[in-house]
């Protein structure tokens, strides 16, 4: 099968209670693609400025990520700054400089157009239509969205929910979009809007997967030292979709395993700043942690 990811490639400035990093490489597309690359050969669509490091482009290539869909434009790369408090689940966006991302018009190279799985990572919901018009017949379309779009373009977000199979969001976003403070009721409400799966991520408390006739819950791997929570959500989606792309089966059993792989990959992403943990991560470590997860929930 093949997986196409549309998202941001970025510079992030991150502040945690213990440390601060300026303009390190991040972006929803970057995290998702790196996470998926441990399972499959993802294709990425995005835009960067001339200031984006060549060594990062080389790094993506060395992870067998297809970057034909990443265009390099005159100007500066998207920059996001976030601050975390003592609770790693709570973050504040300090600033967002869209730069070249402001007029991002995703264009899929011909070799991307027969994608089986399409992931629309946190982009303007009004860009979904033009992307979907470029792909032939995907078997699965997934999207993520953030508070910014839910607050600014709620109608567009609801319209897009009607066109996707999976909606990835954190629990706060699920409740906000559904207008219901109870996560279970909120998940059910969003299922009625179209997707067959709602994946509600709950930070250090794991995730709940709502299907039309089941709910599946997974804990997060207990972690004593969260260095940088940025990218956990996108890494979860990358592991989840990368695994489904690899096994080429979208059955209830594989969806459950995909959710565990998503959680496992996200648990590595937060162990270091930015994408650094992915530089040394191996498939062997992922498998070992998958087995550890099995022991954690066995009773
Ligand atoms: P996550 O922690 O998985 O929710 O995603 C963090 C990543 O999202 C960061 O690396 C940011 O660069 C990226 N990001 C933040 N805001 C936006 C936005 N408005 N559009 C696209 N990407 C964003």
Query: What confidence category does residue 89 fall into, taking pLDDT thresholds of 50, 70 and 90?
Result: confident
Q: For ligand 1, atom 1, name the residue with the nearest CA.
A: 231
> What is the DSSP code string of 247-299?
HT---HHHHHHHHHHHHHHHHHHTTSSTTHHHHH--HHHHHHHHHHHHHHH--
CB 279 within 8 A of CB 55: no
Which pLDDT band, with edges at 50, 70 and 90, does 225 fall under?
confident
7: containing domain:
3-297
Query: 10 is written with which tokens?
Result: 């970025």
Cα–ligand 1 centroid distance for 27 (angstroms): 5
**Distance from the alpha carbon of residue 22 to the mean position of ligand 1, in angstroms:** 15
Whether the full predicted model's pTM is greater than 0.85, yes or no, is yes
* Tens-place pLDDT, residues 126-146: 999 999 999 999 999 999 988
Q: Residue 72 forms beta bridges with which residues? A: 48
| Ligand 1 centroid distance, CA of 299 (Å) | 37
Would strands 166-170 and 140-144 be described as parallel, antiparallel, or unpaired? parallel
Mean pLDDT for the chain overall: 95
What gap in Å lies between CA 45 and CA 79, rounded to an integer?
A: 17
The binding-site residues of ligand 1, defined as CB within 6 angstroms of any ligand atom, are 8, 10, 12, 26-28, 31, 80, 96, 122, 148, 230-234
Q: For the chain, how many residues are written?
A: 299
Strands (E), the chain: 3-6, 10-15, 20-26, 43-49, 66-73, 79-84, 91-97, 117-120, 140-144, 166-170, 197-201, 207-211, 215-218
CA of 29 to the centre of ligand 1 (A): 9
248: domain CATH number is 3.40.1190.20
Indicate which atom in ligand 1 lies nearest the CA of residue 149: 19
Question: Does residue 236 register a pLDDT over 90?
Answer: yes
Q: Whose CA is nearest to atom 6 of ligand 1?
A: 231
Closest atom of ligand 1 to 148 CA is 19
| Among protein residues, the one whose CA lies closest to atom 10 of ligand 1 | 27
Residue whose CA lies nearest to ligand 1 atom number 5: 231
Atom of ligand 1 nearest to the CA of 11: 12
**pLDDT band, residue 272 (cuts 50/70/90):** very high
Cα of 53 from ligand 1 centre, angstroms: 18
212-224 pLDDT tens trace:
999 999 988 888 8
Rounded distance between C-alpha atoms, residue 241 and residue 247, angstroms: 10
pLDDT of residue 220: 86
In angstroms, what is the span from residue 294 Cα to ligand 1's centroid?
30
For residue 122, is pLDDT > 90? no
Q: Which of 122, 128, 149, 169 to mutate for ligand 1's pocket (most ligand atoms within 8 Å of CB)?
A: 122
**Ligand 1 geometric centre to CA of 78 (Å):** 10
Q: Return the residue whose CA atom lies nearest to atom 15 of ligand 1.
A: 80
Among 66, 22, 30, CA closest to 269: 30
Domain count, the chain: 1
Q: Which atom of ligand 1 is nearest to the CA of 144?
A: 4
pLDDT confidence of residue 87: 85
């Amino acid at each position: 099968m093949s997986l196409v990811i549309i998202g941001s490639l970025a510079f992030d400035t991150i502040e945690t209670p213990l440390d601060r990093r300026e303009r390190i490489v991040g972006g929803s597309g970057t995290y998702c693609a790196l996470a998926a690359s441990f399972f499959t050969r993802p294709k990425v669509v995005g835009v960067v400025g001339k200031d984006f490091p060549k060594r990062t482009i080389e790094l993506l290539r060395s992870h067998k990520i297809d970057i034909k869909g990443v265009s390099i434009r005159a100007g500066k790369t998207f920059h996001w700054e976030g601050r975390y408090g003592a609770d790693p689940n709570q973050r504040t966006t300090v600033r967002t400089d869209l730069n070249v991302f402001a007029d991002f018009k995703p264009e899929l190279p011909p070799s991307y157009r027969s994608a089986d799985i399409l992931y629309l990572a946190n982009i303007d919901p009004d860009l979904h239509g033009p992307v979907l018009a470029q792909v032939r017949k995907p078997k699965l379309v997934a999207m993520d969205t953030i508070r910014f779009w839910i607050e600014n373009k709620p109608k567009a977000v609801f319209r897009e929910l009607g066109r996707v199979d999976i909606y990835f969001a954190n629990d706060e976003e699920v409740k906000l979009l559904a207008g219901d403070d109870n996560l279970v009721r909120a998940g059910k409400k969003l299922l009625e809007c179209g997707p067959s799966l709602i994946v509600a991520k709950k930070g250090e408390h794991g995730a709940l997967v709502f299907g039309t006739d089941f709910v599946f819950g997974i804990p997060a791997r207990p972690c004593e030292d969260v260095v940088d929570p940025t990218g956990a959500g996108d890494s979860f989606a990358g592991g989840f979709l990368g695994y489904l792309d690899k096994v080429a089966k979208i059955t209830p059993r594989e969806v459950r395993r995909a959710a565990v792989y998503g959680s496992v990959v996200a648990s590595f992403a937060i162990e270091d700043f930015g994408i650094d943990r992915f530089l040394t991560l191996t498939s062997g470590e992922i498998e070992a942690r998958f087995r550890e997860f099995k022991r954690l929930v066995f009773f």
